[in-house]
Chain A
Amino acid sequence: MNNFEYLQAADADQAINLRDKDINAQYLAGGTNLVDLWKYNLTHPAALIDINHIGINNTITENPDGGVRLGAAVRNADTAYHPLVEERYPLLSKAILAGASAQIRNMASNGGNLLQRTRCYYFYDDQVPCNKRIPGSGCPAKTGYNRIHAILGTSDSCIAVFPSDMCIALSALNARVNVIGLDGERSIDFADFHRLPGDAPELDNNLKTGELITSIDLPENGFKDHYSYLKLRDRHSYAFALVSVATALKLDGKLITEARIALGGVAHKPWRVAEAEDFLINKEANRENFSAAAELIVQGAKGYGDNDFKIALAKKAIVRNCMMALDPSSQQPGAQPSA
């Protein structure tokens, strides 16, 4: 644990400029992951730039295009319980409430949720090699204990998973991430925000150095009639997902007219497969078709020993969650499986 300076930014420009002056400074919002990583000696900020008071990221508002904008500094709990989110994007609300604990959701910011680091045990142990922590040092997870690790999109250098629940719903909803940096503002498709490990697992996402997330935009369609979030884990609550699924469907009678299925706990980013979603269009919403889609989603999955079970678990979770999406009232507190 190193000592650091504490700086408070008055606005976004000041935050970006403070960050630019010191390459080892980091932004502080909720701090729930950052302070923990600092305590574990995994990150060594020279300064923390408090971005909770910069004034542009503290609200949830309707956009002119019919969508909703979530301020990056709004807390996860305030987002999940916001009337616009509860009524129009219940999938997002349920996913947020399946993550962490009530206390952490009261602290954690929306922007910070996107920037969570993996909970891979080897990443968290600074006494062992890890390509994400020290590029080129190796990956003990591949041949070690890997019950929680990825089955999709892995590389020789990293099999870590991205831990967020909120982001699995944001992925299914086709959200966009608005950022500001020295080069100005830009907007990133959610699918392009996080990245697969490839040969640079030290990079979790495609933010440029010093860029600051200001808000997240949700498109108008919130799939509020047919949606479900399911989270399977080793404990009943307050544990990271082994597999989670966000499903959003649009139905015309029994026929599916639009389908979104995103998986968590299985890859370095929220996992979606366009081929599977396209397959479901104009098909009847039933177990058989959802099973066929599940096969397409986990196509190419690879187990590393302890996590082999995730392949079958993911398929079953997809089918179960798609069936639950037909009747969202069947969802249980904490995104538990329905009875």
Chain B
Amino acid sequence: MAKTILTVNGIRHELDLSPWVSLLDALRDRLLLTGTKKGCDHGQCGACTIICDDKRILSCLSLAVAKNGSEITTIEGLGDDDNLHPLQQAFIDHDAFQCGYCTPGQICSAVGMLKENRATTRDEVSELMSGNLCRCGANKGIIDAIMQVKDGGHYE
């Protein structure tokens, strides 16, 4: 077991973890933050996307012990029922989901993408969101929602 310190959504946690525990499993099973979803568990779907040290990454392919000392934001850290993150509100406005399983990963990925500030056009946004699959086919609404926040100017 290895002592691993993770600051998740502003709260510091000291965990004793086996080296083979993924960051995804540590978040869901140890910290009970089940907003982050396990889709493929192989880096193919993006459902497990979180923000780690200001970058969007896949928690399923990250070993928690290797992220010792990191600051992590999950969907639970972005907003709450009374105070939605602008992207959460935009996803509702644009009906950007059907089953909702990919949504936390989509929103965390979009937060990371807007912070990276590398996309201008809709095509570029689409390209930089291609690591998040939506099997329900809500992609048009997802990109609409992101464009609203991106071009609406109220993203911090």
The interface of chain A, by Cβ under 8 A from chain B, is: 1, 3-6, 28, 31-32, 35-36, 38-40, 48, 50, 52, 77, 81, 100-104, 106-107, 236-238, 332-334
What CA separation (Å) do A229 and B131 show in the bound complex? 20
Closest A residue by C-beta to B59: A103
Residues of chain A within 8 A of B58, CB atoms compared: 32, 103-104, 107
Contact A6 B63 (CB under 8 A): yes
Contact flags (1/0) for B125-142 with A, using CB distance below 8 Å?
011111110000000000
Contacts A102-B56, A102-B130 aside, 12 further interface pairs with beta carbons under 8 A come to A3-B18, A6-B19, A31-B62, A35-B63, A36-B42, A36-B43, A77-B116, A101-B130, A102-B113, A238-B130, A333-B127, A334-B127
CB of A102 within 8 A of CB of B123, answer no
For A35, A101, A238, A334, the residue with the greatest tally of chain B CB atoms inside 10 Å of its CB is A101
Q: How many A-B residue pairs have CB under 8 A?
A: 87
Known contacts A1-B20, A48-B19; is-contact A106 B130 (Cβ 8 Å): no
Q: Does B41 reach chain A (CB closer than 8 Å)?
A: yes
Contact B127 A28 (CB under 8 A): no
B66 within 8 A of A: yes
Nearest chain B CB to A216 CB, angstrom units? 22
Evaluate contact between A48 and B124: CB separation under 8 angstroms: no
User: Within the complex, what minimum Cβ distance (angstroms) separates B108 from chain A?
Assistant: 9
B residues in contact with A1, CB < 8 Å: 20
From the candidates B20, B55, B66, B121, name the one contacting A106 in the complex (CB within 8 A): B55
Contact A106 B57 (CB under 8 A): yes
Residue B49 is within 8 A (CB to CB) of chain A in the complex: yes
| Bound-state Cα–Cα, A106 to B112, Å | 10
A-B contact pairs, 25 of them (CB 8 A): A1-B20, A4-B19, A6-B63, A6-B66, A31-B61, A32-B61, A35-B61, A36-B42, A36-B61, A40-B42, A48-B19, A50-B66, A77-B116, A81-B118, A102-B109, A102-B128, A102-B130, A102-B131, A103-B57, A103-B58, A103-B112, A104-B58, A236-B130, A237-B130, A333-B127
Q: Does A237 lie within 8 Å of B127, measured CB to CB?
A: yes
